[in-house]
C-alpha cells in the first residue's frame, strides 16, 4: 500500500515535470501558427509569421553566423574531447583524474564569466577585436565539457582489449584507431559533436560578449524579445525546437545502435 | 608503462592546453583587471582596491548579491526536491525506456536560454497563457506570475532542473537497489529506507546537482531581465550592465571575481559535505557499468 503510494507519487512528479518542460514549447509552436499571440482561442491558423521570417534578411545573417559558430565549436570540442576521453580511459595513468577535472570544470563556471573574461582577455591583453573566431574559441571551452561528458558515458563501455589485440597483430596506433576504435565509437563522437554544436548554435551569453555587433540567432532573439511580442520570433523558436528534437532523435537512434554494438563486454 | 604516459599526454595535451589558454588564463586575467581602473571604456593598470571598496560599501551591490544568493538557494532547493522522485523513478523503473525518458528531460536545455525564456514569457506574463485563461474564465489573474521574482524563480527552475535530474540519475546508476529490499525485510518503511539508505549513499549526486544549478542561477541575468520586471534585477544584471552602456569593465571584473569566489566556496563546502567519497555515489572512472 505504502509502496504503491510512493510509486504513484513518482509517476505523478514525472508527468508533471514533462508537462512543465513541454507546455511552454508546445504553446509557442501553437502561437507561432496563429494570427494573434494574445489568447489565440479559438484557433485561427496562418503561415504568415513563417513567411515573414523567411523574408527577414537579418535573420539570414544571424542564421549563417550561428551555423559557423556551431560547426566550429562542434569540431573543436568533439575532437579534443574524444582524444582526451580515449587517453584517460585507455591509459589510466596517474593524473588522469586531475585532467578529467579540468575538462569538466567549465560546468561549474557561469557563462557570463566565460563571456566577459574572454572578451577582456582578448581585447586588453591580446589586442584582438571580437569576431566569430573568438566566439568559437570561447564557446568551445564549455561545449568541450559537455562533449567530454557524453563521450565518457559512452566510451566507458568500450572494451580496450580490442585495441590491444590489434596492436598484438602488429597494427600501428593510428591504424588501430582508424580500423578498430573509430568504427565502433563514432556514434558517441557524433553525439558529442551534435551536443556541442547545438549548445554553441543557441548560446547567447558567451557569443554576445565576444561578437561585438555581429548578429547570431540568439542575439537577434534577445533584441526582438526586448521589443515585446514578435511572432516571427515564435516561428523561429518553433523551428529551432523542431531542429533540436530531430537531431536528438537521430542521436538517440545512433547511440542505441552504437551501444548495442559496443556492449559485448558484459 | 613509459609509453602509456606518452600516449596519455599526446591525447590529452591539446585539450588541456586549449582549456588552460582560453578558459583558465582569461579567468585569471579578470582577477588582475579587477584591481585596475576604467576610464572611457579603457582599462588602465593603476593598481587599486577601489572596485572592491565600491562593492563592499555601496548598499545596492550588497542587496543585489544577497538577492541572487537567496534566489539561487531557493531554485536549487526546489529543483532538488522535484528532481529526486523523477530521477529515482527513471533509474529504477525506466528499464529499456531509461535513455529516452532521460533525453526528454534534457533536450529542451539544448534550445538555449533565450528561446526557453521566450517560451516561458508566453506562459507566465500578463498576456501569458495562465493569466489569460484565468481572466477569460472569470477568475482573477495571478499577479505573482507577472514580472516578479516568483516568475524569475520559475524560469530559472525551468532552465536548470535538467542538470539536477541528470546528476541524481548518474549517482543512482551505481546504486544497488537491492539494499532497499534488505531495508524492507528488516522492517524499514519506504521513507525511512530513503533517508537512511538511498539519500546518504547518493549524496554526491544531490551535491553535484545543487552546485550545477546554484552556480548558473547565482550569475543569471537573462531570465530576470525578461521575467523579473522592473524591480527584479539580480546581481548578474548589474554585472552585465558594467559591460554595456556604462563601460566600467574594472568594476565588472571585480563583480565577476566575487561571483567566481562564491562559486568556488559553494563547490568547496558541498565537496566537504559529501565526506567519504567511496560511500557517496561518485564513480571515479565515470563508468556507467
Q: Cα angle at B3 between A263 and B4, to 5 degrees?
A: 35
pLDDT of residue A259: 53
A258 inside domain: yes
Give the domain extent around A73.
57-265
Which residues are B44's β-sheet partners?
B37
**What fold, for B51-279?**
MetI-like fold (1.10.3720)
- Residues of chain A with C-beta less than 8 angstroms from the C-beta of B87: none
A15 inside domain: no
Min distance B58 CA to chain A CA atoms (Å): 22
Task: Find the DSSP H helices in chain B.
Answer: 2-19, 25-33, 50-57, 59-93, 98-106, 113-124, 129-136, 149-172, 178-185, 190-193, 199-201, 203-218, 222-227, 235-242, 249-274
Interchain contact A195–B (C-beta under 8 A)? yes
Distance of alpha carbon B24 from alpha carbon A85, whole angstroms: 20
Q: What is the DSSP letter of A35?
A: S
Nearest CB to B115 within list A3, A111, A221: A221
A43 inside domain: no
Q: What is the DSSP string of B39-95?
A: ETTEEE----SHHHHHHHH-HHHHHHHHHHHHHHHHHHHHHHHHHHHHHHHHHHH-G
Distance of alpha carbon A263 from alpha carbon A258, whole angstroms: 8
Nearest CB to A80 within list B7, B14, B267: B14
- Low-confidence spans in chain A with pLDDT less than 70: 1-3, 258-266
Proportion of chain B above pLDDT 70, given as a percent: 94
Report pLDDT digits (tens) over B182-230.
888 888 888 888 888 888 888 888 999 999 999 999 999 999 999 998 8
A38 inside domain: no
* Cell numbers at B81, concatenated: 526536491
Check CB contact under 8 Å for B211 and A86. Answer: no
Interface predicted TM-score of the whole assembly (ipTM), two decimals: 0.90
Q: What is the CATH number of the domain that holds A213?
A: 1.10.3720.10
Chain B residue with Cα closest to A138:
B22
Report pLDDT digits (tens) over B106-134.
899 999 899 999 999 889 988 889 988 99
Check CB contact under 8 Å for B118 and A221. Answer: yes
A50 inside domain: no
A171 inside domain: yes
Report pLDDT digits (tens) over B149-182.
999 999 999 999 999 999 999 889 888 888 888 8
- Domains in chain A, number: 1
Check CB contact under 8 Å for B12 and A119. Answer: no
Mean pLDDT of B53-64: 92
Nearest CB to A117 within list B236, B256, B267: B256
pLDDT band at B36 (very low <50, low <70, confident <90, very high): very high
Place of cell 511572432: A231
pLDDT of residue B162: 93
pLDDT of residue A265: 41
pLDDT of residue A264: 41
A132 inside domain: yes
Amino acid at each position: 500500500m505504502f509502496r504503491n503510494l510512493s510509486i504513484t507519487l513518482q509517476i505523478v512528479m514525472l508527468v508533471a515535470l514533462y508537462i512543465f518542460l513541454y507546455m511552454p514549447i508546445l504553446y509557442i509552436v501553437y502561437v507561432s501558427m496563429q494570427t494573434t499571440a494574445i489568447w489565440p482561442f479559438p484557433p485561427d491558423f496562418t503561415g504568415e509569421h513563417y513567411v515573414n521570417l523567411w523574408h527577414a534578411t537579418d535573420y539570414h545573417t544571424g542564421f549563417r553566423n550561428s551555423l559557423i559558430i556551431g560547426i566550429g565549436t562542434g569540431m573543436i570540442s568533439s575532437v579534443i574531447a574524444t582524444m582526451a576521453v580515449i587517453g584517460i580511459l585507455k591509459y589510466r595513468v596517474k593524473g588522469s583524474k586531475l585532467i578529467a577535472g579540468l575538462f569538466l570544470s567549465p560546468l561549474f563556471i557561469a557563462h557570463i564569466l566565460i563571456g566577459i573574461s574572454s572578451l577582456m582577455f582578448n581585447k586588453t591583453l591580446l589586442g584582438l577585436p571580437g569576431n566569430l573566431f573568438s566566439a568559437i574559441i570561447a564557446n568551445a571551452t564549455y561545449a568541450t565539457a559537455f562533449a567530454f561528458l557524453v563521450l565518457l558515458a559512452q566510451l566507458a563501455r568500450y572494451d580496450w582489449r580490442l585495441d590491444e589485440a590489434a596492436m598484438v597483430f602488429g597494427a600501428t596506433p593510428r591504424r588501430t584507431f582508424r580500423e578498430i576504435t573509430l568504427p565502433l565509437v563514432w556514434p558517441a563522437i557524433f553525439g558529442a559533436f551534435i551536443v556541442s554544436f547545438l549548445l554553441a548554435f543557441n548560446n547567447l551569453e558567451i557569443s554576445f560578449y565576444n561578437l561585438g555587433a555581429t548578429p547570431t540567432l540568439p542575439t537577434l532573439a534577445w533584441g526582438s524579445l526586448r521589443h515585446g511580442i514578435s511572432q516571427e520570433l515564435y516561428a523561429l523558436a518553433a523551428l529551432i525546437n523542431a531542429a533540436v528534437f530531430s537531431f536528438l532523435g537521430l542521436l538517440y537512434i545512433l547511440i542505441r545502435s552504437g551501444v548495442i554494438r559496443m556492449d559485448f563486454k558484459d | 608503462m613509459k609509453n602509456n604516459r606518452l600516449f596519455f599526454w599526446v591525447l590529452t595535451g591539446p585539450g588541456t592546453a586549449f582549456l588552460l589558454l582560453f578558459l583558465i588564463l582569461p579567468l585569471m586575467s579578470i582577477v588582475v583587471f579587477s584591481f585596475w581602473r576604467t576610464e572611457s571604456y579603457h582599462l588602465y593598470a593603476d593598481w587599486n582596491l577601489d572596485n572592491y571598496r565600491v562593492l563592499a560599501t555601496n548598499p545596492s551591490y550588497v542587496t543585489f548579491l544577497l538577492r541572487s544568493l537567496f534566489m539561487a538557494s531557493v531554485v536549487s532547493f526546489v529543483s532538488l526536491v522535484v528532481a529526486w522522485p523523477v530521477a529515482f523513478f527513471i533509474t529504477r523503473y525506466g528499464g529499456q525506456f531509461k535513455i529516452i525518458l532521460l533525453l526528454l528531460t534534457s533536450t529542451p536545455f539544448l534550445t538555449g536560454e533565450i528561446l526557453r525564456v521566450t517560451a516561458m514569457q508566453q506562459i507566465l506574463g500578463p498576456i501569458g497563457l495562465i493569466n489569460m485563461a484565468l481572466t477569460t474564465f472569470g477568475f482573477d489573474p495571478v499577479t505573482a506570475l507577472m514580472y516578479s521574482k516568483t516568475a524569475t524563480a520559475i524560469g530559472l527552475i525551468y532552465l536548470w532542473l535538467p542538470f539536477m535530474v541528470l546528476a541524481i540519475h548518474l549517482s543512482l546508476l551505481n546504486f544497488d537497489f537491492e539494499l532497499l529490499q534488505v531495508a524492507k525485510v528488516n522492517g524499514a518503511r519506504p521513507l525511512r529506507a530513503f533517508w537512511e539508505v538511498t539519500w546518504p549513499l547518493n549524496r554526491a549526486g544531490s551535491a553535484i546537482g545543487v552546485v550545477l544549478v546554484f552556480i548558473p542561477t547565482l550569475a543569471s541575468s537573462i531570465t530576470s531581465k525578461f521575467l523579473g520586471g522592473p524591480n527584479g534585477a539580480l546581481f548578474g544584471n548589474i554585472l552585465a550592465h558594467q559591460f554595456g552602456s556604462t563601460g566600467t569593465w574594472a568594476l565588472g571584473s571585480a563583480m565577476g571575481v566575487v561571483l567566481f569566489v562564491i562559486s568556488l566556496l559553494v563547490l568547496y563546502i558541498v565537496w566537504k559535505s559529501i565526506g567519504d567519497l567511496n560511500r557517496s555515489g561518485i564513480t571515479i572512472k565515470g563508468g556507467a557499468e
